[in-house]
């Protein structure tokens, strides 16, 4: 959908068991949604991204790492892991945060499970203080 262009809203009735309805209201309260419709919208969007992820052969995303480069063997291990996954790393950027700490951002493309394995392998290296995977989407099914 083009940014700024408002999509037409459709209304529909929902039948729900009372137990499920109170769970929905709990979700509304927990997330501070303004109403049930907003909660349902959010649940649908989350599910689209999730299922796209699980089914997809290929997805794109980034891995962000923060590590202490002075830790012994860290750079060697990190390079080794990245070479092992060379086919999924499209590019990487290294920033020297301060005297000891570095930040590295990898742009990746590949199977979601492989991306999670790559993150786990790097995060388990001693000296890596932070590691996060942000999965974007190939946007195939997102309206």
What are the residues binding Ni ion (CB under 5 A)? 96, 102
Tell me the HSE value of 43 on the side-chain side, using a 13 A CA sphere: 13
Q: Are strands 89-96 and 101-110 parallel, antiparallel or unpaired?
A: antiparallel
Q: How far apart are CA 83 and CA 96, in angstroms?
A: 21
C-beta closer to Ni ion: residue 92 or 137: 92
Nearest distance from C-beta of residue 119 to Ni ion, angstroms: 19
Minimum gap (Å) between residue 38 Cβ and Ni ion: 43
Contact 63, 133 (CB under 8 A): yes
Q: Which is nearer to Ni ion, 59 or 62 (CB)?
A: 62
CB of 84 to Ni ion, least distance (A): 21
Query: What residue number has its CB nearest to Ni ion?
Result: 102
Q: Which is nearer to Ni ion, 65 or 102 (CB)?
A: 102
Q: Helices marked H in 31-111 — which ranges?
A: 36-55, 74-84
Closest distance of CB 95 from Ni ion, Å = 7
User: In 3D, which of 19, 53, 125 has the Cα closest to residue 104?
Assistant: 125
- Closer to Ni ion by Cβ: residue 65 or 88: 65
């Amino acid at each position: 959908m083009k940014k700024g262009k408002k999509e037409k809203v459709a209304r529909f009735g929902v039948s729900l068991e009372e137990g499920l309805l109170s769970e929905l209201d709990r979700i509304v309260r927990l997330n501070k949604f303004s109403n049930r419709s907003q909660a349902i919208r959010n649940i649908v969007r989350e599910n689209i991204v999730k299922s796209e992820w699980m089914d997809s052969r290929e997805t794109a995303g980034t891995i962000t790492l923060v590590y202490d480069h002075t830790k012994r063997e860290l750079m060697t291990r990190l390079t080794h892991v990245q070479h092992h996954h060379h086919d999924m790393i499209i590019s990487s950027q290294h920033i020297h945060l301060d005297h000891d700490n570095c930040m590295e951002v990898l742009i990746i493309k590949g199977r979601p499970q492989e991306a999670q394995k790559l993150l786990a392998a790097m995060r388990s290296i001693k000296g890596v203080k932070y590691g996060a995977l942000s999965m974007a989407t190939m946007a195939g099914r997102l309206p």
